[in-house]
Structure 1
Amino acid sequence: MAEVKIQAESRSEFGKGAARRIRRDNKVPAVLYGHGSDPVHITLPGHDTMLALKTANALLLIEVAGGESHLALPKQVQRDPLKGTIEHVDLVIVKRGEKVQVEVAVHLEGEAVSDALVVTEHTTVLVEAEATHLPEQITVSIEGLEPGAQIHASDLQLPSGTTLAVEPETLIVNVTAAPTAEQVDAELSDAEAEAGIEKDEPAEEPVAAAAE
C-alpha cells in the first residue's frame, strides 16, 4: 500500500470551541500516539484527509510543520452523523517493518447457484501484516457454491506476508437454501401475530340478484 503524504500543523488549543474553529477552517483536529511517545496534537487539511481515508487502513505519512514526520494508521475516525464529514481522527504511529493487526474487508466475488442464500457472517477479518504492506481487502469466490457450503477463515487466500489473527475455524461465509415463497409468507404471518397485527378479512363481493 502506497503512503499518502499529509501536511499537518501542531496545535495547542483544545476543547469543543477550539475544535469547532478548526472545522470552520475546513481542517480536522487529530492526535498522534504510540510507541511510548507522548500524544502529539495536530491539525490536518480537511479535503486531503477525507480523500486519504477513503482507502481502508490508509498508511499516512504525517509531516508536521516545523517538526518531525510520522508514519501512522487511522485508529478511530469520528464523523458527523448527518453530514458524514470527518470531525476527529486518532492516529497510531507505526514503524517500517513493524507488524500490526488490522481489520480487512471481505469482498465476495462471483455468484452461488440460483437456489442458494449467501450469508456473510463476518464482513471483515482481523489479520497481521507489515504496516507498509497492508491488504485493502480480501477477495472470496462464491462462484457456483451450493447450499451447505461454508467458508472459514482458514480458507481465505491471504496475500504474501499476511497471516490470520483470528481462530482458523471462524465462519466467514455461510451458504444456505433460499427460503420458498411459502416459508416467507409463514414467517411474515408469525411475525405479524407476535406483534399483534391482525389482517382484515377480504370483503365479500355482493352476489348479483337473479333475473326474474
Structure 2
Amino acid sequence: MRRVLVVDDEENLRHVLRTLLRRHGYEVETAKNGEEALALVDAFGPDVVLTDVRMPKMGGLDLLETLRAKGNDATVIVMSAYGNMDLAIEAMKKGAYDYVQKPFKPDEVVLTLRKAEEREALRRENRALRDEIRKEHRFEDILAKSPRMQEIFRTIAKIADYKTTVLVTGESGTGKELIARAVHRRSSRRGGPFGPSTCGAFPEN
C-alpha cells in the first residue's frame, strides 16, 4: 500500500502532503476535487485516497460513493475541519476507513496511513487463508470440510472412472445430484451430457 492520491482544493495543503508522503516513501498524485481524482484513479491505481470532504464540483462523500459504485476498493481516509465532523462521520458510515481532523500534525497523517497499511495486510492475509481453506475443502462444486464428506470425495475420485452403474442414495435434500455431477465431472465421460431427472416425477408402473 504505497500509492496515495491526495484530493483537496487547497493547493498549499496538496503540496505539503505530497512532499511529506514522498519523504516517507509513498508514491503520490494530487487532485483538486473529486472529478479530477476520478480521472486519475484508473491510470494511477491508488491504494489509498486521502480526501477532503468539502470541495467544489465533487466532494469527498460523492467521491467515496462513486469509487465504491465502480467496484474500486481503495482505502479512503477523509480529512475534515472541526465544523465538518458530521460529514467525516457520515463518510465512515459509508465505508471510509478513518478520518484526520484539520489542522493536523504531519505525524498524524503518516500514522493513519501506517494503520491502514497494517489493516490491509491483515485483510490480504485473511483472504489468502480463506482461499486456501476453500481449495482444501472444495471438490468440484461441493464445499465441505467434515471428515465424512472428505471420505466421500475420496470415494468419488476412486470410482469415477469405473465403467459401471453408480447408485447414490440419501434422503431428499442431502445433495445426491451434486454427488452425481461430481462423479460425472471426474470421469472420462465428463465431455458428454449430464441428464438429471427427478425420480418422483416418474409413475410407479
Structure-2-length-normalised TM-score = 0.27
Work out which structure has the larger RCO, using CA pairs closer than 8 Å and 6 or more positions apart in sequence: 1
Would you tell me which structure has more strand in proportion to its own residues? 1
Would you tell me which structure has more helix in proportion to its own residues? 2
Structure-1-length-normalised TM-score = 0.27
